[in-house]
Amino acid sequence: MLGLDKKDTLMLLVVTALVVFAPILLNPFPAESSMAQFNAGYPDLMQRFVIFGILAIGFNILFGLTGYLSFGHAAFLGVGSYSAVWMMKLLTMNVIPAILLSVIVAGLFSVLIGYISLRRSGIYFSILTLAFAQMSFNLAYSVLTPITNGETGLQITLNDPRILDGANAPAYPNLFGAQMNEATTLFFGGWSFTFSVGYYLCGIIMLLSFYLSIRIFRSPFGMMLRAVKSNQQRMNYTGLNTKPYTLAAFVISGMYAGLAGGLLASMDPLAGAERMQWTASGEVVLMTILGGAGTLIGPILGAGFIKYFENIFSKINEATLEAWFAFLPAGLEDFVVAIIYPFVGKGWHLTLGLLFMLVVIFLPGGLVEGGQRVAKLFRRRDRQTTDAEPDTTRQGQIPPAE
């Protein structure tokens, strides 16, 4: 189907199903129960899952395939956001032109940075991209404030020109009138599920991006990129100049980042400079490695994992914990709360750091490898593994399968 083999089609279908039913799947607990804290099925977080999924998918095309570790990808995200907000300020609140512009501008920006940075490889390349991104961040925060609105972030205001919008056009990002923040909530017993326009738009775009990335992975171009990662020397002695390939991968992944930035701004019309900081670039790297670099679905898992922690664990406070463990005898309750408290709420960074370490130590191939191991347990080893999989996974170089 769609030019994919059976396995890929199945994977695409599974991801599609997950995206479509996410509002239900992510809200497994009744809204009023104490476990509702762990529900992630509200529009903003679901949007972030898929948007950062797009970002990570794009990053993976560069890092997972070519092995070039960019530490400045957040710059493209930021540039995409700024372009989108400007489009919404000047032309129209319709998100289509905004998203298109953000992809184009991020693409151009990545041609520039990629062309220069790709003159070097390895850590020298990483530091060059980092330097460009940090420059962008520092300038956006201060000197470029007329364009970026600095610390506060670029916002839409009531008196923006918006020359294409009529007087009655919605004052919120919309798709031909359907506002991104519109949502319908379905109550079912104690459960409530929110279906939002913005989320489904992001979801569709994410599925398209995911499909595109499968096609790239399975194309001769994708194979060339993997060959670049594997052995540049041999590429050179096969008559291939690797630079156009790496630059193309860089620009594609930059455009993915721009798309993610444009979507972020479309869901929530504000572009903050922090999006370009090195920590944001580092976050993309972490998402990709955590999920499984070079695998198709890994980056999406990684993105979901980190965003879940950032948004769910940071909101657990002492009172929440006390409510959970209220069934315990008072002394024991306090003890349990005291044990858990440092790891949630303001300590969510600690949990995240520990999980990074645990995943890298025990699952060198990232979360995808964890999934594979679980799947293996269920398969009962009735089929013999044919290829040299264990050998490659040990080295953290997963063939791009799942």
Q: At its nearest, how many Å lie between another protein and the CB of residue 361?
A: 7
Half-sphere exposure of 255 (CA within 13 A, CB side): 15
User: Per DSSP, what are the bridge partners of residue 178?
Assistant: 175
Choose the binding region for another protein from 17-25, 101-109, 288-296, 373-381 (rule: CB under 8 A).
288-296
Structure tokens, 260: 């993610």
Looking at beta carbons only, is 10 or 350 nearer to another protein?
350
Phi, psi at residue 10, to the nearest 5°? -60, -45
What is the amino acid identity at position 243?
K
- In the list 33, 115, 208, 385, the residue contacting another protein (rule: CB under 8 A) is 33
Residues 230-269 that bind another protein (CB under 8 A): 230-241, 244-245, 248, 252, 268-269
Q: At its nearest, how many Å lie between another protein and the CB of residue 388?
A: 4
Neighbours of 352 (CB within 10 A): 19
Residue 184 CA: distances (Å) to CA of 43, 82, 248: 10, 29, 41
Looking at beta carbons only, is 28 or 190 nearer to another protein?
190
The alpha-carbon radius of gyration of the chain (Å, integer) is: 22
Choose the binding region for another protein from 82-90, 156-164, 253-261, 367-375 (rule: CB under 8 A).
156-164
Q: At its nearest, how many Å lie between another protein and the CB of residue 102?
A: 16
Choose the binding region for another protein from 82-90, 104-112, 312-320, 376-384 (rule: CB under 8 A).
312-320
Q: What is the dihedral of CA 31, 36, 38, 43, to 10 degrees?
A: 20
Q: Please tell me whether residue 330 binds another protein under the rule CB under 8 A.
A: yes
Structure tokens, 158: 């009531």
Q: Please tell me whether residue 9 binds another protein under the rule CB under 8 A.
A: no
Separation CA 372–CA 153 (nearest Å) = 42
Q: Please tell me whether residue 385 binds another protein under the rule CB under 8 A.
A: no
Residues 346-375 that bind another protein (CB under 8 A): 346-350, 352-357, 359-361, 364
Looking at beta carbons only, is 304 or 377 nearer to another protein?
304
- In the list 285, 297, 300, 303, the residue contacting another protein (rule: CB under 8 A) is 285
User: Per DSSP, what are the bridge partners of residue 94?
Assistant: 174
At 32 the three-state DSSP class reads coil
Separation CA 153–CA 135 (nearest Å) = 17
- In the list 12, 22, 23, 39, the residue contacting another protein (rule: CB under 8 A) is 39
User: Per DSSP, what are the bridge partners of residue 185?
Assistant: 194
Residues 112-141 that bind another protein (CB under 8 A): 116, 119-124, 127-128, 130-132, 134-135, 138-139, 141
Q: Please tell me whether residue 28 binds another protein under the rule CB under 8 A.
A: no
Separation CA 355–CA 374 (nearest Å) = 18
Short-list 69, 77, 160, CA closest to 122 = 69
Looking at beta carbons only, is 94 or 277 nearer to another protein?
277
Q: Please tell me whether residue 142 binds another protein under the rule CB under 8 A.
A: yes
- In the list 15, 42, 80, 291, the residue contacting another protein (rule: CB under 8 A) is 42
At 71 the three-state DSSP class reads coil
Strands (E), 137-219: 154-155, 174-175, 178-179, 183-188, 191-196
Q: At its nearest, how many Å lie between another protein and the CB of residue 54?
A: 16
Q: At its nearest, how many Å lie between another protein and the CB of residue 282?
A: 7
| Total site size for another protein, rule CB under 8 A | 138
Short-list 214, 212, 224, CA closest to 248 = 224
Strands (E), 120-242: 154-155, 174-175, 178-179, 183-188, 191-196
Q: Please tell me whether residue 185 binds another protein under the rule CB under 8 A.
A: yes
Q: Please tell me whether residue 145 binds another protein under the rule CB under 8 A.
A: yes
Q: At its nearest, how many Å lie between another protein and the CB of residue 190?
A: 4
- In the list 80, 203, 272, 299, the residue contacting another protein (rule: CB under 8 A) is 272
Q: Please tell me whether residue 188 binds another protein under the rule CB under 8 A.
A: yes
